[in-house]
Amino acid sequence: MLKNERFQIILDLLADKGTVTVKDIMNSLNVSDMTVRRDLTELDNLGKLKRIHGGAQSISLYKSEELSHVEKKEIHMEEKEEAAKYAAQFIHSNDTIFLGPGTTIELLATYIENPDLRIVTNSLPVFNIFQNKDEIYEIYLIGGGYRRRTGAFIGNIANDALKKFKIGKTFISVNGINNESIMTANIDEGLTQKIVLDNSQEKYIVMDHHKFNKEDFYEFYSLQNITGVITDSKISKELEKKYNEYTIVYSYGKSSKN
Protein backbone atom coordinates (compact mmCIF):
# COMPACT_ATOMS: atom_id res chain seq x y z
CA MET A 1 0.00 0.00 0.00
CA LEU A 2 1.33 3.44 -0.95
CA LYS A 3 2.01 6.01 1.74
CA ASN A 4 -0.64 8.41 0.45
CA GLU A 5 -3.20 5.61 0.59
CA ARG A 6 -2.26 4.90 4.21
CA PHE A 7 -2.55 8.60 5.02
CA GLN A 8 -6.07 8.77 3.57
CA ILE A 9 -7.23 5.70 5.50
CA ILE A 10 -5.85 7.16 8.75
CA LEU A 11 -7.62 10.47 8.13
CA ASP A 12 -10.86 8.65 7.28
CA LEU A 13 -10.63 6.72 10.55
CA LEU A 14 -10.18 9.98 12.45
CA ALA A 15 -13.14 11.55 10.67
CA ASP A 16 -15.34 8.69 11.85
CA LYS A 17 -13.96 8.19 15.36
CA GLY A 18 -12.39 11.49 16.43
CA THR A 19 -9.49 9.65 18.06
CA VAL A 20 -7.72 6.42 17.09
CA THR A 21 -5.03 4.30 18.69
CA VAL A 22 -1.90 2.99 17.03
CA LYS A 23 -3.33 -0.51 17.41
CA ASP A 24 -6.55 0.51 15.60
CA ILE A 25 -4.52 1.77 12.66
CA MET A 26 -2.25 -1.29 12.62
CA ASN A 27 -5.32 -3.53 12.39
CA SER A 28 -6.89 -1.44 9.63
CA LEU A 29 -3.74 -1.15 7.51
CA ASN A 30 -2.08 -4.46 8.39
CA VAL A 31 1.25 -2.71 8.89
CA SER A 32 3.82 -2.54 11.68
CA ASP A 33 3.79 -0.37 14.78
CA MET A 34 6.83 1.49 13.45
CA THR A 35 5.13 2.33 10.15
CA VAL A 36 2.04 3.68 11.91
CA ARG A 37 4.03 5.86 14.29
CA ARG A 38 6.09 7.22 11.40
CA ASP A 39 2.93 8.02 9.43
CA LEU A 40 1.31 9.74 12.41
CA THR A 41 4.38 11.87 13.02
CA GLU A 42 4.46 12.96 9.39
CA LEU A 43 0.73 13.75 9.35
CA ASP A 44 1.15 15.71 12.57
CA ASN A 45 3.98 17.74 11.00
CA LEU A 46 1.73 18.42 8.00
CA GLY A 47 -1.01 19.73 10.31
CA LYS A 48 -3.45 16.96 9.31
CA LEU A 49 -3.93 15.54 12.81
CA LYS A 50 -2.84 15.96 16.43
CA ARG A 51 -0.45 13.34 17.79
CA ILE A 52 -1.43 12.11 21.27
CA HIS A 53 -0.07 9.39 23.55
CA GLY A 54 -0.77 6.02 21.96
CA GLY A 55 -2.48 7.36 18.86
CA ALA A 56 -3.88 10.47 17.19
CA GLN A 57 -6.74 12.93 17.44
CA SER A 58 -8.63 14.73 14.70
CA ILE A 59 -7.77 18.42 14.49
CA SER A 60 -11.49 19.14 14.08
CA LEU A 61 -12.55 17.27 17.23
CA TYR A 62 -12.75 20.47 19.27
CA LYS A 63 -14.16 23.73 17.95
CA SER A 64 -12.00 26.66 19.02
CA GLU A 65 -14.54 29.31 18.02
CA GLU A 66 -18.29 29.51 17.58
CA LEU A 67 -19.54 30.35 14.11
CA SER A 68 -22.06 33.15 13.78
CA HIS A 69 -25.67 32.56 12.73
CA VAL A 70 -24.88 33.87 9.25
CA GLU A 71 -21.76 31.69 8.92
CA LYS A 72 -23.69 28.57 9.95
CA LYS A 73 -26.16 29.20 7.14
CA GLU A 74 -23.36 28.76 4.62
CA ILE A 75 -22.07 25.31 5.62
CA HIS A 76 -23.37 21.76 5.09
CA MET A 77 -26.70 23.06 3.82
CA GLU A 78 -27.60 19.94 1.83
CA GLU A 79 -27.11 17.74 4.89
CA LYS A 80 -29.03 20.16 7.13
CA GLU A 81 -31.91 20.22 4.65
CA GLU A 82 -32.11 16.42 4.67
CA ALA A 83 -32.07 16.17 8.45
CA ALA A 84 -34.66 18.95 8.83
CA LYS A 85 -36.98 17.48 6.21
CA TYR A 86 -36.81 14.08 7.89
CA ALA A 87 -37.41 15.53 11.35
CA ALA A 88 -40.66 17.14 10.17
CA GLN A 89 -42.06 13.61 9.74
CA PHE A 90 -41.83 13.11 13.52
CA ILE A 91 -44.34 15.91 14.12
CA HIS A 92 -48.10 15.23 14.06
CA SER A 93 -51.23 17.31 14.41
CA ASN A 94 -52.14 18.27 17.99
CA ASP A 95 -48.53 17.83 19.18
CA THR A 96 -46.99 20.24 21.65
CA ILE A 97 -43.46 20.84 20.41
CA PHE A 98 -40.43 22.90 21.37
CA LEU A 99 -38.11 24.16 18.65
CA GLY A 100 -34.69 25.37 19.79
CA PRO A 101 -32.31 27.81 18.13
CA GLY A 102 -30.06 27.00 15.19
CA THR A 103 -30.09 27.01 11.42
CA THR A 104 -31.09 23.33 11.16
CA ILE A 105 -34.12 23.88 13.39
CA GLU A 106 -35.05 26.94 11.33
CA LEU A 107 -35.06 24.70 8.27
CA LEU A 108 -37.21 22.20 10.17
CA ALA A 109 -39.71 24.98 10.89
CA THR A 110 -40.14 25.63 7.17
CA TYR A 111 -41.06 21.96 6.57
CA ILE A 112 -43.75 21.77 9.24
CA GLU A 113 -47.19 21.54 7.62
CA ASN A 114 -49.32 19.85 10.28
CA PRO A 115 -52.22 21.97 11.56
CA ASP A 116 -53.27 22.39 15.19
CA LEU A 117 -49.83 22.44 16.75
CA ARG A 118 -48.80 24.12 19.97
CA ILE A 119 -45.32 25.52 19.26
CA VAL A 120 -42.94 26.81 21.95
CA THR A 121 -39.61 28.37 21.02
CA ASN A 122 -36.89 30.60 22.43
CA SER A 123 -35.57 31.32 18.93
CA LEU A 124 -36.49 34.63 17.33
CA PRO A 125 -35.75 33.36 13.76
CA VAL A 126 -37.97 30.31 14.35
CA PHE A 127 -40.76 32.52 15.76
CA ASN A 128 -40.55 34.79 12.73
CA ILE A 129 -41.26 31.81 10.46
CA PHE A 130 -44.56 31.15 12.29
CA GLN A 131 -45.63 34.64 13.35
CA ASN A 132 -48.15 35.07 10.52
CA LYS A 133 -49.60 31.59 11.01
CA ASP A 134 -51.29 32.15 14.36
CA GLU A 135 -54.64 30.98 12.93
CA ILE A 136 -53.09 27.54 12.33
CA TYR A 137 -50.79 27.27 15.33
CA GLU A 138 -50.77 28.20 19.01
CA ILE A 139 -47.37 29.93 19.29
CA TYR A 140 -45.35 30.84 22.39
CA LEU A 141 -42.13 32.84 22.18
CA ILE A 142 -40.06 32.57 25.37
CA GLY A 143 -38.39 35.84 26.32
CA GLY A 144 -35.21 36.52 28.25
CA GLY A 145 -31.72 37.79 27.58
CA TYR A 146 -31.18 37.95 23.82
CA ARG A 147 -28.12 36.23 22.35
CA ARG A 148 -27.56 37.76 18.92
CA ARG A 149 -25.06 35.10 17.81
CA THR A 150 -27.78 32.43 17.67
CA GLY A 151 -30.97 34.51 17.85
CA ALA A 152 -31.96 32.79 21.11
CA PHE A 153 -33.50 34.09 24.32
CA ILE A 154 -31.71 32.60 27.33
CA GLY A 155 -30.95 33.24 31.01
CA ASN A 156 -33.01 33.23 34.18
CA ILE A 157 -36.18 34.73 32.69
CA ALA A 158 -36.28 32.15 29.90
CA ASN A 159 -35.39 29.31 32.26
CA ASP A 160 -38.03 30.22 34.86
CA ALA A 161 -40.70 30.29 32.14
CA LEU A 162 -39.63 27.01 30.57
CA LYS A 163 -39.63 25.18 33.90
CA LYS A 164 -43.44 25.55 33.89
CA PHE A 165 -43.96 23.96 30.46
CA LYS A 166 -44.54 20.28 29.77
CA ILE A 167 -43.51 19.51 26.20
CA GLY A 168 -44.51 16.52 24.10
CA LYS A 169 -41.61 16.62 21.65
CA THR A 170 -38.48 18.77 21.72
CA PHE A 171 -36.26 19.34 18.69
CA ILE A 172 -32.86 20.97 19.22
CA SER A 173 -29.61 21.23 17.33
CA VAL A 174 -26.17 21.12 18.93
CA ASN A 175 -22.57 22.04 18.15
CA GLY A 176 -21.17 18.58 18.71
CA ILE A 177 -21.65 15.07 20.07
CA ASN A 178 -18.73 12.95 21.21
CA ASN A 179 -19.61 9.55 22.63
CA GLU A 180 -22.46 10.26 25.08
CA SER A 181 -21.57 13.96 25.60
CA ILE A 182 -23.83 16.58 23.98
CA MET A 183 -22.12 19.95 23.68
CA THR A 184 -22.67 23.57 22.81
CA ALA A 185 -20.60 26.76 22.79
CA ASN A 186 -22.49 28.77 25.42
CA ILE A 187 -23.23 27.76 29.02
CA ASP A 188 -26.48 29.73 29.34
CA GLU A 189 -27.81 28.36 26.07
CA GLY A 190 -26.95 24.84 27.18
CA LEU A 191 -28.68 25.28 30.54
CA THR A 192 -31.84 26.53 28.82
CA GLN A 193 -31.89 23.53 26.49
CA LYS A 194 -31.32 21.15 29.41
CA ILE A 195 -34.42 22.48 31.17
CA VAL A 196 -36.54 21.95 28.06
CA LEU A 197 -35.19 18.44 27.50
CA ASP A 198 -35.86 17.49 31.12
CA ASN A 199 -39.49 18.62 30.72
CA SER A 200 -40.08 16.76 27.43
CA GLN A 201 -41.58 13.33 26.82
CA GLU A 202 -39.64 12.86 23.56
CA LYS A 203 -36.25 14.49 23.00
CA TYR A 204 -34.72 14.76 19.51
CA ILE A 205 -31.46 16.21 18.25
CA VAL A 206 -31.57 17.31 14.62
CA MET A 207 -28.15 17.80 13.04
CA ASP A 208 -25.94 17.07 10.06
CA HIS A 209 -23.57 14.12 10.38
CA HIS A 210 -20.49 16.36 10.53
CA LYS A 211 -21.30 17.11 14.18
CA PHE A 212 -20.71 13.54 15.34
CA ASN A 213 -17.34 13.01 17.04
CA LYS A 214 -17.05 16.77 17.67
CA GLU A 215 -16.62 18.62 20.95
CA ASP A 216 -17.38 22.15 22.08
CA PHE A 217 -17.01 24.24 25.22
CA TYR A 218 -19.93 23.08 27.39
CA GLU A 219 -21.40 19.60 27.91
CA PHE A 220 -25.04 19.99 28.91
CA TYR A 221 -26.74 16.60 28.37
CA SER A 222 -26.17 12.87 27.96
CA LEU A 223 -26.99 11.18 24.67
CA GLN A 224 -28.28 8.17 26.61
CA ASN A 225 -31.21 10.33 27.76
CA ILE A 226 -32.14 11.41 24.22
CA THR A 227 -34.99 9.71 22.31
CA GLY A 228 -33.10 9.89 19.03
CA VAL A 229 -30.72 11.78 16.75
CA ILE A 230 -32.12 12.72 13.33
CA THR A 231 -29.44 13.21 10.72
CA ASP A 232 -28.70 13.11 6.99
CA SER A 233 -28.08 10.21 4.63
CA LYS A 234 -24.31 10.75 4.41
CA ILE A 235 -23.59 9.37 7.88
CA SER A 236 -21.18 6.43 7.65
CA LYS A 237 -22.12 2.94 8.80
CA GLU A 238 -19.36 3.17 11.42
CA LEU A 239 -20.75 6.35 12.93
CA GLU A 240 -24.29 5.02 12.84
CA LYS A 241 -23.26 1.81 14.59
CA LYS A 242 -21.24 3.69 17.22
CA TYR A 243 -24.00 6.11 18.18
CA ASN A 244 -26.78 3.53 18.08
CA GLU A 245 -25.09 2.23 21.24
CA TYR A 246 -26.27 5.40 23.03
CA THR A 247 -29.63 6.17 21.39
CA ILE A 248 -31.51 5.62 18.11
CA VAL A 249 -29.93 7.23 15.06
CA TYR A 250 -32.49 8.13 12.40
CA SER A 251 -30.80 8.84 9.07
CA TYR A 252 -32.61 10.35 6.09
CA GLY A 253 -33.54 7.78 3.47
CA LYS A 254 -32.82 4.79 5.73
CA SER A 255 -34.94 2.75 8.09
CA SER A 256 -34.62 3.51 11.81
CA LYS A 257 -32.54 1.28 14.08
CA ASN A 258 -33.82 -0.51 17.14
Give the tens place of pLDDT for each residue, 9-66. 998 888 777 788 999 999 999 999 999 999 999 998 888 888 888 899 887 666 555 5
Residues 6+ apart with CB under 8 A from 134: none
Mean pLDDT over the full length of the chain: 90
**Strands 176-178 and 181-184: what pairing?**
antiparallel
The pLDDT of residue 133 is 85
- pLDDT of res. 258: 38
Tell me, what's the pLDDT at 257?
Answer: 42
Say which residues have a Cβ less than 8 Å from residue 182's Cβ, sequence separation at least 6: 174, 176, 205, 219, 220, 221, 222, 223, 226
The predicted model gives 139-152 an average pLDDT of: 95
Residue 256: the pLDDT is 45
Q: How confident is the model at residue 153 (pLDDT cuts 50, 70, 90)?
A: very high
